[in-house]
Amino acid sequence: MKLLNTLELNRLIGYMEALSCSLNGCNYVTIFNAQQLKIEDNNLEIKKLIKFGYPQTKVENATISESSSSEMVARINSFIQRVNPYDKENNLADSKKRNLITGFWHNISKCIDYQNAEIIEYIPQRENYDIQDPLNNFIIFGLTFLIIDRQQKICLLIHCSASD
């Protein structure tokens, strides 16, 4: 297993950074990030994939849940729609948010065929909040998905969060 560093991934990460800046509010920040892994063994345990992509994450007490591409898309779109920067300079109209969402999924699709992949949701235990854990350091809202293409032997880990 190894971390990938492709042009498509770098474009996605750049888009996610811009998306984060666009959605930041007066009293909170949003974070979007991604890691892409080359999988050697299709039978690899999901928690090991997460730990490889985010070594500081404490996966021991987390829940791993199967999901679907439509559920993942709905959850992430809802996350983006729900964030409401209320300072006058950053206030985003719904049409602008729809454009941000379209760009987000366009960049994801350049990295992996998420509509035909296996989707796994990683759910940390909130009572074990840890500022050092990159997947469990959010206050307001957070989600993490693994998109696994076993034929191409790649995995894309996506994390979105909002914190004060």
Could you tell me the domains of the chain?
A: 2-163 (3.40.1000.50)
pTM score of the predicted model = 0.85
How close are the terminal C-alpha atoms of the chain, in Å?
35
Indicate the helix (H) or strand (E) that contains 13: helix 7-23
Q: Which two tokens stand for residue 3?
A: 């971390």
Q: How confident is the model at residue 71 (pLDDT cuts 50, 70, 90)?
A: very high
Residue 87 confidence (pLDDT): 46
Q: Which of 57-61, 62-66, 70-74, 136-140 has the highest mean pLDDT?
A: 70-74
Q: How far is CA 110 from the centre of its chain?
A: 15
Q: How far is CA 147 from CA 33, 56, 90, 122, 133, in A?
A: 14, 20, 31, 11, 20
